[in-house]
Amino acid sequence: MVHSENQESKSLKSEILGIIAPSFPAFLDELHCKYKNLGDGAIADYIPELSKVNPDLFSICVATVDGEVYQVGDFNRLFTIQSMSKVFAYGLALEDHGRDYVLTRVGVEPTGDAFNAIILDEQSKRPYNPMVNAGAIATTSLIKGKGATERLNRMLDMYRRYVGKDVYVDMSVFTSERSTGHRNRAMAHLMLNFGMIDGHIEEALDLYFQQCAVMVSCRDLAVMAAALANKGVNPITGEQAVDSRYVKDILSVMYTCGMYNFAGEWAYKIGIPAKSGVSGGIIAVVPGKMGIAVFSPLLDSRGNSVRGVKVCEELSQKFGLHMF
Amino acid sequence: MVHSENQESKSLKSEILGIIAPSFPAFLDELHCKYKNLGDGAIADYIPELSKVNPDLFSICVATVDGEVYQVGDFNRLFTIQSMSKVFAYGLALEDHGRDYVLTRVGVEPTGDAFNAIILDEQSKRPYNPMVNAGAIATTSLIKGKGATERLNRMLDMYRRYVGKDVYVDMSVFTSERSTGHRNRAMAHLMLNFGMIDGHIEEALDLYFQQCAVMVSCRDLAVMAAALANKGVNPITGEQAVDSRYVKDILSVMYTCGMYNFAGEWAYKIGIPAKSGVSGGIIAVVPGKMGIAVFSPLLDSRGNSVRGVKVCEELSQKFGLHMF
Amino acid sequence: MVHSENQESKSLKSEILGIIAPSFPAFLDELHCKYKNLGDGAIADYIPELSKVNPDLFSICVATVDGEVYQVGDFNRLFTIQSMSKVFAYGLALEDHGRDYVLTRVGVEPTGDAFNAIILDEQSKRPYNPMVNAGAIATTSLIKGKGATERLNRMLDMYRRYVGKDVYVDMSVFTSERSTGHRNRAMAHLMLNFGMIDGHIEEALDLYFQQCAVMVSCRDLAVMAAALANKGVNPITGEQAVDSRYVKDILSVMYTCGMYNFAGEWAYKIGIPAKSGVSGGIIAVVPGKMGIAVFSPLLDSRGNSVRGVKVCEELSQKFGLHMF
Amino acid sequence: MVHSENQESKSLKSEILGIIAPSFPAFLDELHCKYKNLGDGAIADYIPELSKVNPDLFSICVATVDGEVYQVGDFNRLFTIQSMSKVFAYGLALEDHGRDYVLTRVGVEPTGDAFNAIILDEQSKRPYNPMVNAGAIATTSLIKGKGATERLNRMLDMYRRYVGKDVYVDMSVFTSERSTGHRNRAMAHLMLNFGMIDGHIEEALDLYFQQCAVMVSCRDLAVMAAALANKGVNPITGEQAVDSRYVKDILSVMYTCGMYNFAGEWAYKIGIPAKSGVSGGIIAVVPGKMGIAVFSPLLDSRGNSVRGVKVCEELSQKFGLHMF
């Protein structure tokens, strides 16, 4: 059953959602029922820690820009944020260096290749965009701080502003990813070769693996997405999570590059800026309206949550959330 | 000086443009002045016919969804529509076969590769999207009709609905492209090999070269773009140019794939669905508001009009047209 | 049982073969017995005509440079020469234009890619070598003659010199390949685009499909290979099949590029210039000694005859035929 | 002037060289004169240490399998062996693991790509061959020994057997390559990702950088090449430098893959197994006859010594050294 945490403000919600509010929780319940037995897909197994998850876990959360949260299923269950972290780290890098400088290090072009392709733009030698692994590592390497600890703390503090409370790193997942991340390490060295990232490779990779291993709930993700829908302001705490000047940039790359090599089809069919992670989460941002998060660990061949894609597609169609 | 053809409806325009209308014509004039002496870029020279154009030609036109047209510079000058045709042919293919079938033949994924890359999606063997040449040829091959003439006539009739009057094919450009289009011919045969297009290669290529050689003015393009901004209805004639169900699909692929391998940066910086052509035109669609067209034949290294990109960037910033 | 056509010249053979001659026929018999029941591999099925062949067919023939022919199995059975034709057409192109000019049109670099890859050397725009399809089509387009018939006749006359009698084109195979050769057609147009082949694409492709559809027996192939082992002179008729100046060039590209993307492993393990065809033939040339031909239509995943590779490997080891 | 160290054995030399011996030294002198003022090409500058070399240095040495050495120019000048080391390390890996196992880790297929391409065979995930950097790193990682020092000592001992005296590592070049070898480090991590190399990346890379930084003279290289021409036996000391069973394998990969992406053209025009290094050396092996070495640091765009290629081409033509 959908839980709404702020039941009093129905009239406002109605307006924000552009729908008759009472129908909304019921529809989330309906979607949860409809897809909870869909067993398609497979759990990520590239690190043992991820493969231990219960494949039945499933939750849908929606947080509106006026602070309402609708949630159904295992919405407080923690899991690692994985590639969804790329979105937030990109914002921090933009805050630290500004748009122009970041663009010299990481492009914003979508690519038809897989997220882990060892490939840089032939002319510029930049990674194509901050949503592929190479680009995300380059992004993370831009985060400022004196030493590894300060950089980690700035990252964790950023997460805190988005979520509204402290977050923690899953040490087992971090260790596991660090010890098996040879492909990411290969990319980092290749970018070092082209001067796209500086010096301390291992520190940058550590911070990247740490940012991916941060634990969040589906509810947390919905609030994080809602902050992006709300000009960077956490709609519950009112805290500015990211400078409003960069929200447009973040949403743009989510829109064109966020869903791996399904990005184009997502933009075509669902049409909302979004990002997925191999832990099974998807976040989607409807600017000025709401943040959506779905969690279900069963992934399709491109690494996107099977149920997550279905739920977002239905929400987009039902409430006309497509950008066009 | 900007010419407005429908000066009486100022109050409506204001609302549509989300601006104080009087400033709008002045700003177009200002942009035209600012960039008319910018000589960067080069004229397309891959066929002799295109290289004959006067590089100084320059016009900016905006058509609103309520039928207002603002225009400055050489707005009635005819030139061939080239790759901007891909947008409209895609709509016709969708009308002829529906979304699901068209998706089996042409993908909707952006690609980091050049527009003329001889490349198909490795798994599906589809061209990546309808905005690259391979995808556009596949799209055109889907247009229905008994024989070449009927197919051409259906294409021309579609153009007529968008423009509001009959359009014509530049025979010299058609002949020139046909006799030098070996790379496009190579792609067509490769797609035939994978069963992505059917039988009559030469007929499909002829229709593709014809669709690219249709002559339009900058003003025509603004009205065509305005029809896409207006749910498929030509805002001047009121005629339905394309089924409103497919406008979202057209805009989606324009947004993610429309500007060659500059598409991502365009989405990032300018954030409006758009398409360019090597003749020097750019069309951009602000849904529910207006169609924008710029014509200036000097192209950058990616094949986009140098002045066109600048003008669209300034319009987007000045009037907050970015989708995010 | 091995048939020797010239049993009297045993002493000479011994010397040429570098072995005690009597053991040679016995060893061919032994190999034939050993592998005739090996059912691994699959028949080429990309055109219906090829898929009709009896998979049990199997023959081994060796022709020495002094005109001795050893043969076992279905050695008179005719089949189409397919890609083995590339070797001989390359010789004719060299005779027609000389080494330097041919090198400007077709490279001599091996490539790790498949034989039918749509790929040209990025800098030179040449096909990598005359043994991949693109390079073979470019080679064939170089063959001189007034009109299609004269070019075909020059090609057939070249075959006649190598074989020692007239050869014929299998019209069904030709028609079948022509009507399904879209990939080859794609390559031809791409090369036309880069100026690597001239004008009449369809004529060049027709001649290419004709050269591939020439019918030969395993015995014929052994004699053809022996001519290459014998400085270009057919060891039975004494006719010069190809200018001796170009034999070195032909053998060089066979050695580095002849066995598709198995070429390197072939050079490593077997170490004899060779060429295979999808009809199931393999020819191998031991300079100054003999030509070897094997025919067995069951192919491995790279398109080489399974039994053919085994037989050549054993012959190379047994008689020390490896170049190094 | 050419120095011959063993002037008494003229009759034997004549036979080995297949020429009238007296003309040989004169021809080397002639070649040295002819090319010593050829200033084409550029010095390798990817590490500062290499760029300091005097571009005028030039020597040609030939060592016959009966221990005669002909030398002209700066034949005792030491320089780092660089990529020519790949040949000898491959032999040691074969001795340590046998042909079959080594083949599971490193292929023997030539590739049209550059020597430093970040590319593995798509199916097998092996590097294409031991002559590209990725393959050489994988090869070196196979060298046995308890700990880094023992492995280095085994490598140095192998060099000693080939050269006939102790060799040393240039510590500045080693340090310089190690601190800038990000691309090689990227490849190593990528291979680790695919299980193509084991564990200690940094140790394997150190050994690889050490093997490349070994100092040799042009004379040393000629003797090393002569050992390969002489079934693995150093023709001066009589010591077995490499197991004779693997000489064929070494020569095979030199022949098809030794000269970077000029390998095919080298095989075509010069036709001798060879390997070049960015320090400006080329070694070439004429089996059963001689080893050839040329040293001149001016490189062409593919990384091969300009004068070295010319000298080898003339020697091949003059004395008919082409394999075919």
Q: What is the mean pLDDT of residues B28-47?
A: 92
Considering the candidates C70, C208, C246, C255, report the single residue annotated as catalytic.
C208
Say which DSSP state D305 is in: B
Pick B175 or D20 by higher pLDDT: B175
Evaluated on CA atoms D14, D248, D157, D115, the torsion sign reads positive
CATH T-level assignment (fold) for domain B3-82+214-319: Beta-lactamase (3.40.710)
CB C219 within 8 A of CB C293: yes
**pLDDT for residue D275 is more than 60:** yes
Distance from CA of B228 to the nearest CA of A (A): 10
- Whole-number Å distance between alpha carbons of A53 and C103: 60
Say which DSSP state B5 is in: S
Backbone angles phi, psi at C286, to 5 degrees: -105, 100
Q: Which residue of B has its CA nearest to A254?
A: B268
- Whole-number Å distance between alpha carbons of B93 and B90: 5
Residues 19-58 of A with CB under 8 A from B: none
pLDDT for position C22: 66
Is the pair C, D in contact (3+ CB pairs within 8 Å)? Answer: yes
Distance from CA of A180 to the nearest CA of D (A): 8
Q: What is the mean pLDDT of residues D158-162?
A: 98
Distance from CA of B207 to the nearest CA of C (A): 18
**pLDDT for residue C32 is more than 60:** yes
DSSP letters spanning D6-71: -TT-HHHHHHHHTS-TTHHHHHHHHHHHHHTT---SB---SSHHHHTS-TT--EEEEEETTS-EEE
pLDDT for position D126: 87
Do B257 and A264 make contact, defined as CB atoms within 8 angstroms? yes
- Whole-number Å distance between alpha carbons of C258 and D211: 33
Do A248 and B271 make contact, defined as CB atoms within 8 angstroms? yes
Of B295, B47, B94, B90, nearest in space to B208 by CA: B90
CB-based contact, C112 to chain D, within 8 Å = yes
pLDDT for position C9: 44
Residue C172 tokens, joined: 């069904």
Query: pLDDT, tens digit, for every residue of C92-113?
Result: 999 999 999 999 999 998 887 7
Query: pLDDT, tens digit, for every residue of C197-243?
Result: 887 888 999 999 999 999 999 999 999 999 999 999 999 999 999 99
Residues of C in Cβ contact (< 8 Å) with D121: 112
pLDDT for position A231: 97
Neighbours of chain B (3+ CB pairs under 8 A): A, C
**pLDDT for residue D31 is more than 50:** yes
- Whole-number Å distance between alpha carbons of B143 and B122: 25
C35 is an active site residue = no
Taking CA atoms, A157 is separated from A152, A178, A224, A246, in Å, by 8, 22, 13, 18
ipTM: 0.80
What CATH code would you report for A84-212? Answer: 3.40.710.10
Of B263, B228, B259, B63, nearest in space to A324 by CA: B228
Instruction: Answer whether CATH 3.40.50.10540 is correct for domain D3-83+214-319.
Output: no
pLDDT class of C20 with cuts at 50, 70, 90: very low
pLDDT class of B6 with cuts at 50, 70, 90: low
CB A178 within 8 A of CB A208: no
Residue D191 tokens, joined: 């291979």
Neighbours of chain A (3+ CB pairs under 8 A): B, D
Task: Indicate the range of B16-20, C183-187, D187-191 predicted with least confidence.
Answer: B16-20
Alpha carbon dihedral D276, D282, D286, D290, in 10-degree steps, equals -140
Q: What is the mean pLDDT of residues D174-190?
A: 88
Considering the candidates C106, C216, C260, C289, report the single residue annotated as catalytic.
C260
What CATH code would you report for C3-83+213-319? Answer: 3.40.710.10
**pLDDT for residue C3 is more than 90:** no
Residue D66 tokens, joined: 């009966």
Considering the candidates D13, D86, D231, D275, report the single residue annotated as catalytic.
D86
CB C276 within 8 A of CB C212: no
Residue A26 tokens, joined: 């019921």
Task: Indicate the range of A108-122, B151-165, B263-277 predicted with least confidence.
Answer: A108-122
- Whole-number Å distance between alpha carbons of A242 and A63: 17
Report the greatest alpha carbon distance in chain A: 57
CB C299 within 8 A of CB C43: yes
CB-based contact, D94 to chain C, within 8 Å = no
pLDDT for position B15: 57
- Whole-number Å distance between alpha carbons of C12 and C8: 9
Geometric angle at alpha carbon B96, from B90 and B98, rounded to 5°: 80
A278 is an active site residue = yes
Close Cβ partners of B150 (under 8 Å, ≥ 6 residues apart): none
Say which DSSP state D245 is in: G
pLDDT for position D4: 60
Residues of A in Cβ contact (< 8 Å) with D182: 189-190, 192-193
CB pairs under 8 A between C and D: 104
Q: Is D232 left (phi over 0), alpha (psi -120 to 50) or beta?
A: left
CB-based contact, B154 to chain A, within 8 Å = no
pLDDT for position D49: 81
**pLDDT for residue D269 is more than 80:** yes
CB D125 within 8 A of CB D196: yes
CATH T-level assignment (fold) for domain C85-212: Beta-lactamase (3.40.710)
CB-based contact, A198 to chain D, within 8 Å = no
% of chain C at pLDDT higher than 70: 92
CB-based contact, B265 to chain A, within 8 Å = yes
Pick B151 or D112 by higher pLDDT: B151
Evaluated on CA atoms D52, D56, D62, D68, the torsion sign reads negative
Say which DSSP state D145 is in: -
Do D186 and A183 make contact, defined as CB atoms within 8 angstroms? no
Query: pLDDT, tens digit, for every residue of C262-281?
Result: 889 999 999 999 999 999 99
Averaged pLDDT of chain D:
90
CB A218 within 8 A of CB A277: no
Superfamily of domain covering A3-82+215-319? DD-peptidase/beta-lactamase superfamily (3.40.710.10)
Task: Indicate the range of C3-17, C232-246, D269-283 predicted with least confidence.
Answer: C3-17
- Whole-number Å distance between alpha carbons of C265 and D100: 12
pLDDT class of C6 with cuts at 50, 70, 90: low
Most confident range (mean pLDDT) of B98-107, B123-132, C11-20, D171-180 is B98-107
pLDDT for position D17: 57
Q: How many CB atoms lie within 10 A of CB C289?
A: 21
Do D256 and C271 make contact, defined as CB atoms within 8 angstroms? no
Residue D238 tokens, joined: 């009589």
Backbone angles phi, psi at D42, to 5 degrees: -145, 155
Query: pLDDT, tens digit, for every residue of B87-121?
Result: 999 999 999 999 999 999 999 988 877 667 767 77
Q: What is the mean pLDDT of residues A98-123?
A: 83
Start-to-end C-alpha separation, chain D: 32
**pLDDT for residue A49 is more than 90:** no
Helix (H, G, I), strand (E, B) or coil at A5: coil
Q: What is the mean pLDDT of residues A135-159?
A: 95
pLDDT for position C11: 44
CB A279 within 8 A of CB A53: yes
Percentage helix, strand, coil, to 5, in chain B? Answer: 50, 10, 40
pLDDT for position B46: 77
Chain centre to alpha carbon of residue A167: 15
pLDDT for position D22: 67
Task: Indicate the range of A2-6, C64-68, C261-265, C313-317 predicted with least confidence.
Answer: A2-6
The partner residue sitting opposite D287, judged by closest CB among C108, C253, C324, is C324
pLDDT class of B7 with cuts at 50, 70, 90: very low
Same topology between domain A3-82+215-319 and domain A84-212: yes
Of A269, A273, A266, A262, nearest in space to A300 by CA: A262
A296 is an active site residue = no
Query: Alpha helices, DSSP H only, in D106-167?
Result: 133-141, 147-163
Considering the candidates D35, D128, D162, D260, report the single residue annotated as catalytic.
D260
CB pairs under 8 A between A and D: 33
pLDDT for position A7: 44
pLDDT for position B219: 98
Residue B283 tokens, joined: 């069309």
- Whole-number Å distance between alpha carbons of C300 and C303: 5
Pick B142 or D112 by higher pLDDT: B142
Q: What is the mean pLDDT of residues D198-222?
A: 93
Of D110, D62, D74, nearest in space to D223 by CA: D62
Say if residue B301 is exposed, middle or buried (CB neighbours under 10 Å; 0-12, 13-18, 19+): exposed
Residues 224-243 of B with CB under 8 A from A: none
**pLDDT for residue C160 is more than 50:** yes
Do C186 and B189 make contact, defined as CB atoms within 8 angstroms? yes
Averaged pLDDT of chain A:
90
pLDDT class of D9 with cuts at 50, 70, 90: very low
**pLDDT for residue D307 is more than 90:** yes
Pick A50 or B116 by higher pLDDT: A50
Evaluated on CA atoms A252, A258, A261, A262, the torsion sign reads negative
The partner residue sitting opposite D193, judged by closest CB among A186, A192, A193, is A186
Buried b (16+ CB within 10 A) or exposed e, D281-306: bbbbbbbebbbbbbbbbbbbebbbbb
Q: What is the mean pLDDT of residues A1-6?
A: 59
CB C227 within 8 A of CB C241: yes
Q: What is the mean pLDDT of residues D107-114?
A: 82
CB-based contact, C265 to chain D, within 8 Å = yes
Domain ranges of chain B: 3-82+214-319, 84-212
Considering the candidates C83, C296, C305, C316, report the single residue annotated as catalytic.
C83
